[in-house]
Each structure stands twice: as C-alpha cells, then as structure tokens.
Amino acid sequence: MDTFLRELGLFAPAIVFNIYFAAASIPLGFVMAIFLALGKNSANPLLSRLSRGYIYAFRGSPLFIQFFMIYSLTLSFNISLWKPLDISWFVLHPLFIGPLVLVLNTAAYTADIFYGALRAVPRGEIEAARAYGMSRTQQFRQVVWPNLIRLAWPAYTNEVVFLFHATAIVYFALPVIGQQKDVMITAKELFERDYNAFLHFSVAALYFLAVSLVVFFFCGLVYRRLMRHMPAAPGMRFAPKWMR
C-alpha cells in the first residue's frame, strides 16, 4: 500500500502537464472549429473547399506525425526568424508547441462534429425565424447555435476526453525540458528503473481515468443545462413482478 501511495505522489506533478495541454487547447480548438464548420457549410465554394481540405488533412493523418511535422517546421525557421526576434525560447518550447498542435488537431475533429449538428438543425425553425423577420445574425444566435450545441454536445464531450488522452504523446514527440514530464514520460522512466510495468502504467491509467471522470461529470452538468427545457428522463424504479 505504501508503494502504491508513493507512486501516486510521484505522478501528481506530472498530471498537471497533461491537464495544462488539454486546458490550453480546448477553448481555442472550440472557437476554431466553429469557423471551420461554418466554412465547410458555406455556399462559397473556395471557403468550403479550404475548410474541407484542412479537416481532411488533420483527420487523415496521425497526431504523432503532426507533432513531428509542425515541430520540424517551426525548428527550420529558428535561425532565420525566431532567433533574430529573440522568441525562440517561447516558440520552440513544448508548452507552446504542444497546445498549438493539439488545437490544430482537435479543431478539425470538432469542426466535423459541429458540421454534422449544423446540418441536423431543423429547417422549419430557421424558416420560421426568417419569416419572423430575424436577421441572419439573429437566426444564428437564437435558433441555429442553441440547436447546434445541444445536438453536438455528447459527441463533443467524447472529443474532449480523446484530446486529454492525446496529451499522453506530447512529450514522446517533443523534447523534455528539465522536470517538465507528463504522466507517460514519468511512467516510462520509472519502468526503465525497475521494469515494473504493471504498477507504473496502472497508476498512469488511474490518473487518466480520474480526470476523464471529472470531464464527463462537468460536461454532463453542461448538457443537463442545455436540455433543461426538455422533460427529465424517468429515473430507474425497482418494481418486481412477482406474478405473471
């Protein structure tokens, strides 16, 4: 038990980095995804194709490769651009590159979720808003967006959890600086000391499960708030039938 508690303490500082990567990526990815979804749904063919191309590129390639490609691209500008501007310490830092790649990746996946929800918004409600004399901005704010977010929220919750899980590979693709080690790098280093894979990776998994549970809980609260106008689902009731 002491070993297990000591192990929990060793991983506690590391999970902060995973939470940071997810927390820094989710808001920006969310906003970017809205514009990509609207672009994909746009009647402008250029805008629609650009959005579709972006989504396809990031959904069609592994996240691990995206980390390598974007880090290598950023590194190639170091001598000519970042160093003269004296910002290489910031631009090449994993705490900047990590969230940057995660934002670009999650925006593509979230955009497709939002696009699907956008296509599922009842046409009758939009036509009613138009007949009522609402402007396009009012239609989006009062009719399209509330429907879109309600429809997309369960799938978006999964995307948030997937994004958090994806933070496990950040330091496998980017350099580790000092003691900035996430959960998976910590587990890997401990495993290389004593080869006790079951203990180290089980504790790492427990941390991921705990944070995922928190995400599901808070996203569930938001979903309940979004659906507050709908009748509550009947609760479970114990009513055995003793005789048929």
Give the C-alpha separation, 162 to 174, whole Å: 19
What per-residue confidence (pLDDT) applies to 232? 72
Enter the pTM of the model. 0.89
Reference 115, options 170, 48, 172; nearest CA is 48
Q: How confident is the model at residue 79 (pLDDT cuts 50, 70, 90)?
A: confident
> What does the pLDDT look like over 194-234, one tens digit per residue?
888 888 999 999 999 999 999 999 999 999 999 888 777 66
Q: Using an 8 Å Cβ cutoff, are 67 and 94 in contact?
A: no
SS3 of 117, please? helix
Helix locations, 41-144, DSSP H: 45-59, 63-76, 88-91, 94-120, 123-131, 136-139
Identity of residue 204: A
Q: How confident is the model at residue 243 (pLDDT cuts 50, 70, 90)?
A: low
What per-residue confidence (pLDDT) applies to 7? 83
Alpha-carbon Rg for the chain, nearest whole angstrom, is 23
Any long-range contacts for 145-151 (C-beta under 8 Å, 24+ apart)? 146/226, 147/117, 147/120, 147/121, 147/122, 148/114, 148/117, 148/118, 148/121, 149/117, 149/226, 150/226, 150/227, 151/116, 151/117, 151/120, 151/121
Q: How confident is the model at residue 81 (pLDDT cuts 50, 70, 90)?
A: confident
